[in-house]
Structure 1
Amino acid sequence: MKSYSIVLILTVLYSIVSCGLTSEQLTKTLKQSKSKLLPINDENFENILNGKRDYHIVVFLTSESSQINCVLCHEIAPEFRIIADSWFKDHPNGIEINQEELEKNNDSSKNIYFFKSEFMESKKFFSLLQLNNIPKIFYFPPTKSNAANTFLKEKQEYQFFQGDHKSLMLNWIQDLTGHKLNLYIPINQTKLIVHILIGFFTMFFIKRYRSYVFIALQSKISWSIISLVTALLFTTGYMFNKIRGSPYVIEHQDGRTEYILPGQQNQLGIETQIMSFLYGILSVLVIVLIKRAPEIKNPSVSLILVVVVSALIFILFSLLLSIFGLKGIGFPYRFIRFF
């Protein structure tokens, strides 16, 4: 019975969306649907986008197919869904338009509807829009035109920039529609439970082993390690990544994965880890070379240690210079050229 009910709801939803739609019909559809992102595909896009519309449309074009493996699609999807859910939460019955506003034809008095288009179900639609890559977000304003495919000339595209995608998309939609949108970010129940458990076990551990914790807090070695790790993270761009919301890595559609971006104004999350690791290992090697090697009484062992450590420093510093060459165009210095 549950499966039958789901099929029935989807059938009703499809039958409504695939015909000529008014704002009232879309509002009714949203109330009956769990998702506030209505589907748009090859079967219904002409009925939705062609002809007169007395509402705003925002379409998210994406793909969840494992064959395409669109990383940015998966990253943007939950952000876009939060905006759609937030709008519906404030306007569950749509915007009621009085006669005076209707005569003024004020776009800010019109509803906004959010759609999602899956590539595997919308190849004709994607081809008509002449898309070479995804994801894409398009805005289609209210229109009085009855001409076919007028929406192709009227659409406006969202430009993806680094940062908080929710805030950037929200500002873009507000500027185009004239509406003020409130953002309601749902509580991540799993994350909340994990944090509660971590807090509980941390307090339990501190109480149970407080004598050892007290010794560790007084240890110079502990504070040295914490200080060193913190200094390495912050000098290699940790806050840069946090402020700009940099992705961890970039995966391309052809299967390539970028770990280091050229240019001094671009940086990935993994770059911070790579640079921290290199600086950390080089620091340890220099300490070993200066402090530990002279303490070895056996001349042969001391010589071998110095040669091995010096060779590792030379190799790792060569790698560091090669990375500098990628980040700074025209950086001339190299030892071993890694790339």
Structure 2
Amino acid sequence: MKVLLTSILFGTILVLTGFLVMTAAQGKQKVGLSLPEKVQNLHDMNLKKALLRFNGQKFREYIKNPPRNYSVIVMLTALAPSRQCQICRHAHDEFTIVANSYRYSPVYSNKLFFAMVDFDEGSDVFQMLRLNMAPVFMHFPAKGKPKGADTMDIHRVGFAAESIAKFVAERTDVQVRIFRPPNYSGTVAMITLVCLVGGFLYIRRNNLEFLYNKQIWGAIAVFFCFAMISGQMWNHIRGPPLVHKSQNGGVAYIHGSSQGQLVVETYIVMFLNAMIVLGMILLTECGSQNDQRKGRITAIIGLVLVAIFFSFLLSVFRSKAQGYPYSFLFK
């Protein structure tokens, strides 16, 4: 009997002890870090890295949950190669420049921090903020919740480091002077190109009649126009993907929005413009043919090229500008 009572008493003590330990742990977890601990931890992390990298837990601990007497500029992005977000990589580079410029500037203090949340490390943060796109730059003020103006409009102002610094100044009154690391790749490429052209001209110094060839200069001018109107400069700045998946699971070669384009789309537009120009050239030159039969055939071929490829080009424009009412030959 005494053994049974002793066992019951011992078991009761164990249950009560476990309950007290769990209650204390839950209470401690609920309380979380104090404000001085948060600031000190952020300062220590900032000493190691100018741009803090948060997951969902750290986001809630240091940004979402009070108390907080500091502002945080957060970039929500998707840097994994499987996400195929080329813009995110460029935006991350620009945001890192801003964070480094602030970290090593005289205005640095514990009142402002820069952080990023990657989708694969904090998808719950995207759900919490109701975001379905990346990259997004948001300002979390020291007091209160973010408002509409606390989200940077990158579609209007872009995501260059200077634009981000201006956004930071507007929301926090902290003026960040941008210091970009030196980049000599453009200078080296220009010097190399000049040396190659100069060496070629020196080798052909006794035979430079080709410089007066109108056809060569005309072809160069037309190719330059094709490259510019097809969007090559946009590709160089934004770095879009080659192709992407369509909504039905297939491969899309034309971007469905007028706010973007794909690399393959650039070459498609260039080819269509080239065929239209070729057709116009044939229509223009048909009258100079001595043989009337050849002139008519040349005119018919030129007219067919212009009609067909202009229709294709108009179809591409219709697919990007939703609601455009006009079409020609093809929808």
Same-fold call, TM cutoff 0.5: yes
Indicate yes or no: 2:159 matched with 1:165: yes
Indicate yes or no: 2:84 matched with 1:43: no
Q: How does 1:288-303 map to 2 (within 5 A)?
A: 288-291=282-285, 295=289
What is the match of residue 184 of structure 1? 179
Q: 1:205 to 1:119 in 2, by over 3 A?
A: same
* Candidates 292, 313, 325, aligned match of 2:306: 313
Q: 1:141 to 1:169 in 2, by over 3 A?
A: same
Rounded Cα–Cα distance in structure 2 between residues aligned with 1:182 and 1:156: 20
What is the match of residue 30 of structure 1? 46
Q: Deviations over 1:101-147 (max 9, x none)?
A: xxxxxxxxx6321111122222333333333333222211123xxxx
What is the match of residue 89 of structure 2? 74
Quick check: 125-134 or 112-121, which moved more?
125-134
- 2:275–2:305 Cα contact (<8 Å) kept: no
Indicate yes or no: 2:213 matched with 1:197: no
Give the Å deviation of 1:170: 2.1
Quick check: 82-91 or 131-140, which moved more?
131-140
Rounded Cα–Cα distance in structure 1 between residues aligned with 2:57 and 2:100: 25
What is the match of residue 74 of structure 2? 59
Q: Which amino acid in structure 2 is aligned with residue 123 of structure 1?
A: S
Larger relative contact order (Cα-Cα within 8 Å, sequence gap ≥ 6): 1
Q: Which amino acid in structure 1 is aligned with residue 308 of structure 2?
A: I
* Candidates 266, 274, 285, aligned match of 1:280: 274
* SS of residue paired to 1:54: coil
Q: 1:333 to 1:253 in 2, by over 3 A?
A: closer
Rounded Cα–Cα distance in structure 2 between residues aligned with 1:74 and 1:142: 28
| Aligned residues between the structures | 290
Q: Which amino acid in structure 2 is aligned with residue 216 of structure 1?
A: F
Rounded Cα–Cα distance in structure 2 between residues aligned with 1:168 and 1:253: 32
Q: 1:282 to 1:178 in 2, by over 3 A?
A: same
Q: 1:37 to 1:155 in 2, by over 3 A?
A: farther
Give the Å deviation of 1:63: 2.0
- 1:63–1:120 Cα contact (<8 Å) kept: yes
Identity, % of aligned positions: 19
Give the Å deviation of 1:200: 2.9
* Candidates 64, 84, 95, aligned match of 2:99: 84
Q: Which amino acid in structure 2 is aligned with residue 317 of structure 1?
A: F
- 1:241–1:269 Cα contact (<8 Å) kept: no
TM-score normalised by structure 2 residue count: 0.69
Which runs of 5 or more residues in structure 2 are unaligned?
1-31
What is the match of residue 122 of structure 2? 122
* SS of residue paired to 1:187: coil
TM-score normalised by structure 1 residue count: 0.67
Q: How does 1:80-159 map to 2 (within 5 A)?
A: 80-91=95-106, 94-95=108-109, 111-143=111-143, 156-159=150-153
Q: Which amino acid in structure 1 is aligned with residue 84 of structure 2?
A: N
* SS of residue paired to 1:205: helix
Q: Which has the larger radius of gyration?
A: 2
